Chains A and B, each alone.
Chain A
Amino acid sequence: MVFKMKFIKKSPWILHYDGSSCNGCDIEVLACLTPLYDIERFGAINTGNPKHADLLLITGSVNEQNISVVKQLYEQMPNPKAVVAIGVCAATGGIFKDCYNVQGGVGEVIPVDIYVPGCAARPEAIIEGVVLALNKLERRKSPRKDA
């Protein structure tokens, strides 16, 4: 059966993963949950569980140690899913690009849907990135099959 994902836009559950970042973008992601920005008013929940999540928010670059972790998190998320790379480190590796263990941006390992620029990315930009990712996600179709 093929469904169009109409309700995913109203209930995006988010998984946040911190690669090798300076924690600046992570603090901004968590700031989205605070009373000032309150991302839950769009129905978004910060789940700690890839199997419940629709959106994967990654901050920081990928390194030798966390490549397998990032891949596993992505693979464990049920379809349809989208990835938002937050901050310049997640996009290209940023200031850590030339480190001996850094591979580069998240796009080196898993397909990224939306890149949110900034160092650190502003909460407003993160929310916009999430909304854009949801627009992409809505157009995807759910296979709804048992794996």
Chain B
Amino acid sequence: MILRIALALFAVPIAGGLLAGMDRIITARMQRRKGPPLLQPFYDVIKLLQKEATTVNMITRFFTTFSLCFTILAVVLLFTGQDLLLCIFAFTLACVFFVIMGYSGYSPYSFIGAERELIQIMCYEPMILIAAFAFYEVSGSFHVEVVWKLDQPLITRLPLIFLGLMFILTIKLRKSPFDLSMSHHGHQEIVKGITTELTGVCLAMVEITHWFEIIFSLALVYIFFVSSAAYMQVLAVFICLAVYFLEIVIDNVFARVKWKNALKISWIVTGVASLANFVILGLL
């Protein structure tokens, strides 16, 4: 247990940062550029910690800190095999704090970013809850540790639910075409969206939160592929990496959509996929 908590607290941000670094290199190679060094996200965060922190509203730092803390809590709960619903609620609470942080700035760009972040939450939240419900239907428990004892991985019973989850991962990983509230690419129409007002330590915390979010999202993928077989437990890690690579490809291929389209597309895809999966589960 202590080992798993230590893993969630120390290995997860390092792995998340390395994945973010890999992301930037792969993106650069896809655009026929050389790209930054692998450790670039860490350099960025250390620089931000050293820079002056100008805060327009002191409460901003409070909400940013809470967003980071609840994201860490969600990852710790997931890694220790606790209740999946509790993980999701902790994760959602972190997202809510992040939105309030956006509203606590005075910039209109920050406001628009916060509104779009809310819309993004509307896009992906139903699917995450449906995935948890489907998890319960198949495994008979909400406890994550059950997946380690399954004979067959969840993907064999829930392939369409997994497709829906993969769709919303694009939103959660802040990848194009759904990077509405804040984009990692330059020249977004709303400056830097929800993070426009942030500087120094606060921005560094947002970056670290994103590293945790990456691992949390990929851990949800891992849950679908892991089973009691030892080879599946290793294979699932590689599948997670493959999913992340696919997200990078999607990020580079698609242009940003409008918020109405994002909402429509995500609800239609996740709705149809999950409904079809439940119908098939009922027939079997």
Name A residues whose Cβ lies closer than 8 Å to a Cβ of B. Answer: 3, 5-8, 10-11, 34-35, 38, 40-43, 45-49, 51-52, 54, 78-80, 142-147
- What would be 5 A-B contacts, judged by CB atoms less than 8 Å apart? A7-B43, A42-B36, A43-B37, A49-B196, A146-B54
- Contact status of A11 and B51, CB under 8 A, knowing A35-B33, A41-B35, A78-B199: no
Question: Shortest beta-carbon distance, A56 to chain B, in Å?
Answer: 14
Where the two chains meet, the residues of B that have a C-beta atom closer than 8 Å to any C-beta of A are 24, 28, 31-37, 40, 43-44, 46-47, 50-55, 186-188, 191-192, 195-200, 203
List residues of chain B with CB within 8 A of the CB of A45.
Answer: 186
In the complex, A10 Cα to B54 Cα: how many Å? Answer: 22
Please tell me if the beta carbons of B50 and A11 are within 8 angstroms of each other in the complex.
no
Q: Which residue of B lies closest to A34 (CB)?
A: B33
Q: A7-B43, A78-B200, A144-B200 are in contact. Are A35 and B52 (CB under 8 A)?
A: no
State the Cβ distance, A72 to closest chain B Cβ, in Å.
13
User: Which residues of chain A are near B196, meaning CB under 8 Å?
Assistant: 49, 51
The 4 closest A-B pairs by CB, nearest first: A10-B43, A78-B52, A7-B47, A46-B186
Complex contacts, B203 vs chain A, CB 8 Å? 52
- The CA of A45 and the CA of B192, in the complex, are separated in Å by 13
- Contact flag A7-B46 (CB < 8 Å), given A38-B28, A146-B54: yes
Chain A's interface: helix, strand, loop or mixed, by majority?
loop
Complexed CA–CA distance, A80 and B50 (Å)? 9
Q: A46 contacts which chain B residues (CB < 8 A)?
A: 186-187
A10-B53 contact in complex given A46-B186, A49-B196, C-beta closer than 8 Å = no
A103 shortest CB reach to chain B, Å: 26
A144–B52 touching, CB < 8 Å? yes
Q: Which residue of A lies closest to B46 (CB)?
A: A7
Chain A residues, CB < 8 A from B191: 48-49
Known contacts A10-B43, A46-B187, A144-B200; can you find 10 more A-B pairs with CB under 8 A? A7-B47, A8-B47, A38-B35, A40-B34, A43-B36, A46-B186, A47-B192, A48-B186, A48-B191, A146-B54
Partner of B51, one of A35, A40, A48, A79: A79
Task: Output the nearest chain A residue to B28 by Cβ-Cβ distance.
Answer: A40
- Whether B51 lies near A78 (C-beta < 8 A) is yes
Q: Count chain B CB atoms within 10 A of each CB in A80, A142, A143 and give the residue with the most.
A: A142
B31, A35: Cβ atoms under 8 Å?
Answer: yes
Nearest Cβ on chain B to A57's Cβ, whole angstroms = 13
Give the nearest-CB partner of B200 in chain A: A78
Q: Please, which residues of chain A bring their CB within 8 A of the CB of B187?
A: 46, 48
CB-CB under 8 A from A146, the residues of chain B are 53-55
B47 touches A40 (CB 8 A): no
Q: A111: shortest Cβ distance to chain B, in Å?
A: 17
Q: Nearest-CB distance from A42 to chain B (Å)?
A: 8
Complex: how many Å from CA A95 to CA B200? 39
Q: State the CA gap A146–B52 with chains docked (Å).
A: 7
- Given the complex of chains A and B, what is the CA–CA distance between A33 and B198 in angstroms? 25
Contacts of B36 in A (CB 8 A): 40-43
A54 neighbours in B (Cβ, 8 Å):
47, 51
- A77 vs B221: C-alpha distance when bound (angstroms): 40
Give the distance in Å from the alpha carbon of A144 to the alpha carbon of B52 in the complex.
4
Task: Select one of B33, B40, B54 contacting A51, CB under 8 A.
Answer: B54
| Minimum C-beta distance from B276 to chain A (A) | 42
Please determine whether B40 and A43 come into contact, CB atoms closer than 8 angstroms.
Answer: yes
Known A10-B47, A78-B52: A52·B199 in contact at CB below 8 Å? yes
